[in-house]
Amino acid sequence: MRIHAFIVGGLCLVCAPFWAMGEESPAANAKEEEDSPYEQLQVLARAMQLIRQDFVDDKKVSYRDLTYSALRGMLASLDPHSQFMEPEDFQGMQEDTRSEFGGLGVVVTMEDGVLTIVAPMEDSPGFAAGLEPGDQILRVNGQSTDKLTLSEAIEKLRGEVGEKVTMTIRRPRTKEIKDYELIRQIIKVPSVKGTRVLPAREGEPKIGYVRITQFNEPTAAELGRALDRLDKERIEGLILDLRYNPGGLLGSAVDVCGFFVPPGTPIVTTEGRSPGREYSTSPQGAHPRTYPLVILVNYASASGSEVVAGALKDLDRAIILGETTFGKGSVQSVMSLPDGSAARFTTAKYYTPDRQVIHEHGVAPNIHATLGTQEEIELLRARREGDSPTTKTAPTAKDSQLERAADALRGLLLKSKRAPTKASRAS
């Protein structure tokens, strides 16, 4: 057997045994006579031979192109979460998992078909060069960007650390067009953002806020540092924002739960054709925080976000506030192939501590709350999409869900302070 990576929500997850190419599981051996791989491979090979021999456009019939096309179709036919990844895509997924890549440190988007800088990241080549939000990237190393897709443009901006990249920038504010020469560096993208103490009136309890954008390798360590900063502010409650969080590493999601429950607490169980496995918080984990916790979720909270929300809800450790989550409760394994490409396909579903099924159901909130208006939704989404990883300013958009969460925490804290102690009840 080989060791493969598990992913939840599109990112590489945890390592577990999986039957490798050339090996057959016991169930597969039992069906070998009625479903022979050798006969089907002959069919595939014959089809490729005929296409290469007679297809009108010989530029589209290399063995690589035909094999990749067959793999794309094969994996796409399984379910919406299975896919084939070419070497570049697989490498990009690994970079996303590590939360670091070689690049220039600019967040970009397409505005009216023009590649536009949303924000340069602090302490990055783009920031040091003086690039500004709204700058338009006309050319990269002399190549026009007007026909590039956003993913193609990002691929050109990323690359080997130490390489020079020349960008031709148009600044709409001044109408100036100028070439900028930058050198790629390692760019680290934090997944824990917005750490702060929420504004409060005099006499009200201090409530901390932290947002997790996805679950990557450094997420638990980043959250630990964020909670340490909030603890120094003597917060009495915490809001953990998982809205729009698509998931990520299963191990990271379990580690995040470890900050709020005792060491060794079961968090999630995965079950598939292979024997099921239970994931628990580390038995050597630090002493967990015990202050009241509210987790914000919405329709776009998926996978790893649902692991955290579902577990802490079942364990009566957190109040879940917002909307029913996406319902992506399946686990994918990623198997690298000999040429650097990879196959990703679903191998299990996961269950919360109370054996609740998340897949296609989602996690229902304890307190249902939606954003008030479409304008509020758009303002919040725009702030998040344009949020530089090191942005320190407070959000300007109204956020009624966050306000509702803060009110819920204040009510809990007020109730706990008014509750009589055992000693007072005895007297």
Query: Which are the catalytic amino acids?
Result: 303, 314, 328
Q: How far apart are CA 123 and CA 120, in angstroms?
A: 9
Q: Which residue has the tokens 């060069």?
A: 129
- Secondary structure of the chain in HEC code, one letter for each residue: CEEEEEEECCEEEEEEEECCCCCCCHHHHHCCCCCCHHHHHHHHHHHHHHHHHHCCCHHHCCHHHHHHHHHHHHHHCCCCCCEEECHHHHHHHHHHHHCEEEECCEEEEEECCEEEEEEECCCCHHHHCCCCCCCEEEEECCEECCCCCHHHHHHHHCCCCCCEEEEEEEECCCCEEEEEEEECEEEECCCEEEEEECCCCCCCCCEEEEEECCECCCHHHHHHHHHHHHHHCCCCEEEEECCCCCCECHHHHHHHHCCCCCCCCEEEEEEECCCCEEEECCCCCCCCCCCCEEEEECCCCCCHHHHHHHHHHHCCCCEEEECCCCCCCEEEEEEECCCCCEEEEEEEEEECCCCCECCCCCCCCCEECCCCCHHHHHHHHHHHHCCCCCCCCCCCCCCHHHHHHHHHHHHHHHHHHHCCCHHHHHC
Q: What is the C-alpha separation between 7 and 345, in angstroms, rounded?
A: 9
Residue type present at position 379: L
Backbone angles phi, psi at 5, to 5 degrees: -100, 140
In angstroms, the CA 358 to CA 271 distance is: 13
Distance CA 309, CA 296 (A): 9
Q: What angle do CA 277, 282, 287 make, to 5 degrees?
A: 145
Q: Which residues sit opposite 348 in a β-bridge? A: 272, 331
Candidates 7, 2, 142, 109; CA nearest to 387 is 109
